[in-house]
Every structure is written in structure tokens, then in C-alpha cells.
Amino acid sequence: MSGTLRVVALVGPTASGKSEAALALAEALGAEIVSADSRQVYRGLDIGTAKPSPEERRRVRHHLIDVVDPDARFDAARFRTMALDAMRDIANRGRAIVVCGGTGFYVRALLHGLFTGPGADPDLRLAFRERERMFGAGTLHRDLAAVDPATAGRLHERDLVRIVRALEVVRVTGRTISSWQAEHAFGSTEVTPLVIGCARARDELTSRIERRCRAMVDAGLLDEIRDLWARGFGATLPPLDSVGYREMGRVLRAEVDFDTGFADFTRATRRLAKRQRTWWRRDPRVEWFHPDRQRAALMRRVATWLELPCPSPTSTSSSLSPR
């Protein structure tokens, strides 16, 4: 492990308590947090991404938040480069590193490397997206399932960025992206990680999701969407066509009433959490803890792995409690 960055990564489904646990760990261990959330990189997407509050960012320094505007291109490769730079800076200053991961692919790219593949073909990508427009939602996902069922099986049919990329790789190289990734094996040696999963029972998580969605609306999610649109960031931009912004945006456009839009929002969030749970449960490297009931054990495991004195869990109880 000599010469690598020692990193604690907190992962798990949305609303499982990752942010609270990461904040508590960072405060107790004198660490800084690197966000691995593919939507928190965008300026202005605050409420709908559960971005850490200004007060939380004053308590603990956060990185990879508010990096680009919503209409900027941002992908896992750019994220990895920026995150590694931030992590080296943190380590050089003698601080511990906590990665808080809401986007599984970003966490995997950061911790284990990334298969880059052939360069982008803008004309080909445009043709794929035109096919989706002409023949309806789900067309490209079905196309991908026919040639690369392994990749299609882990992607939602609305994840057009990754679906188009997978189809592009097949068209350009004659091989599936899943076969390239298996060959690559994500064998980066730049990072030595301890991956901690935040585990909650399904009913408990469902209840937290309902409360979280309601809290976002009460905090002004509709006003946030309206403001982003007024600033010229349209609803079709990928960040604004994501969970929460998509469903509540339909309410603002009077396509559905509030109750229907909110029900769609909570349903989409539950589905997202299910996909995230499945993603992480397949990874044998994840060590699972309940972030509230097993807080002391979680803190001991991290402190021991980092070879630091174990902090008292009582000092972080308020940060680790559910919101």
C-alpha cells in the first residue's frame, strides 16, 4: 500500500445516511470529504441533490461540489482527474480522506480506475439520440440489450449518456463495453480504499425517502427548478432531467398536478435507491454497517484501518442521527 492514497469511501443507496456519516467521520478524524455525486458537481442544483449545507461545509471542507454549470459536459473521467488532484492535496496537508459516494460508477472509477475506450464520435452519438427520439423512450436500451445484455442489465433505460456510450463502443470497436471493462478489471493502484456501506432495512429506507422528498419540496425545490429555467438551463439538460427535477418540473409545466408529480418523485427515488442498493450489494469489498445503530463499530473499523486513535462515538451522535 506504500505510495497510494488511503481512502475511506462511504457508499449506499440514496437517503441511507451517507452524508451524515461522512460528516461525522470527517469531524472526528480531522478528514476532508470528496463528494462522488454526479449531480452535486453542478452549481445551482442544491435542494434536489441534497447538497451539503453552507454550515456543514464550514464544519468540514468538501471537494467536487459546485464545479461546473448545469449545461457543462462532465463525465467520470473528468471527475476522476479532479478528485485525484483534490485527494493528493488533502493527503499532502496531512489530512485523512473520506469519499462520500452517491454515484456508484464515479466511486468505482475513482477507487479502481476507468476504462476510457475509443474517443467520442459526435455524429454517431447524435444518430443514436435521434433514433431514441423517433422510436420512443427505451429504444436504445433495447438495442443495447440485444448486443450487450450485461451492460443493459445494470443501466436504467433513461440513462442515455451511458447507453449511448456503450452502443458507441460496440459500433467503433466491435466489442462490448462490458468485455473491455472485464479485461481492464479496474486495476488502478493509485488508491487503497476501505469501502463502508450504509445499510438500512427496506422499510426504513422507504420511510426516509418519503421524508426526504417532502423536505426537499418544503425547502423550495420548485423554486429552485424555476430559477434554473429562468437562468437558461433547460429541462432537457441531463442534470435537470434527473430524479426530482424531472418529476417536479412536470408540475411546474402543468403537465400533472402536484400530488401526481410528488408521487412520481418519491417512486422514482425509491427505484433509484433500489438500483443503487443492487449495485453495491454485488461488490464483495463493501463492509456494511447501520450508520446509526452500529455507529461505534463503524468508527472503530475506520479508525483502526487508518491507524488512528478511535474517536468517541458520542461526540458524533447528532451528526449520525437521521434527518
317 pLDDT more than 70: no
Least confident of 65-79, 142-156, 176-190, 254-268: 176-190
pLDDT at 316: 42
Q: Cα angle vertex 219, ends 215, 221, to 5°?
A: 95
Domain boundary, last residue among 169, 184, 199: 184
Say if residue 311 is in the same domain as residue 175. no
Q: What is the pLDDT of residues 262-283, one digit of tens each?
A: 999 999 999 999 999 998 998 8
Domain boundary, last residue among 146, 161, 184: 184
CATH code, domain carrying 238: 3.40.50.300
33 pLDDT more than 90: yes
> Where does the pLDDT of residue 3 fall: very low under 50, low under 70, confident under 90, or very high at 90 and above?
low
Say if residue 212 is in the same domain as residue 315. yes
d(CA 278, CA 272): 10
In this structure, which amino acid lies at residue 73?
R
pLDDT at 243: 96
Give the DSSP letter of residue 2. Answer: T
Say if residue 63 is in the same domain as residue 9. yes
Say if residue 147 is in the same domain as residue 227. no
pLDDT at 121: 86
Strands 96-100 and 31-35 come out as: parallel
Domain boundary, last residue among 144, 159, 184: 184
In this structure, which amino acid lies at residue 297?
A
What's the domain range around 138?
A: 122-184
Give Cα separations from 137 to 126, 143, 190 (angstroms): 15, 12, 39
d(CA 118, CA 21): 38
d(CA 283, CA 286): 6
- In terms of DSSP H, where are the helices of 121-220? 122-135, 139-147, 149-154, 160-173, 177-184, 202-218
314 pLDDT more than 60: no
Say if residue 177 is in the same domain as residue 207. no
Say if residue 48 is in the same domain as residue 161. no
Number of domains in the chain: 2
What residue has cell string 430559477?
227
Say if residue 226 is in the same domain as residue 316. yes
Q: Is the pTM of this model over 0.85?
A: no
pLDDT at 116: 66
d(CA 38, CA 64): 9
186 pLDDT more than 60: no
> Where does the pLDDT of residue 120 fall: very low under 50, low under 70, confident under 90, or very high at 90 and above?
confident
Neighbours of 313 (CB within 10 A): 17
pLDDT at 321: 34
DSSP state string for 83-104 = HHHHHHHHHHTT-EEEEE-S-H
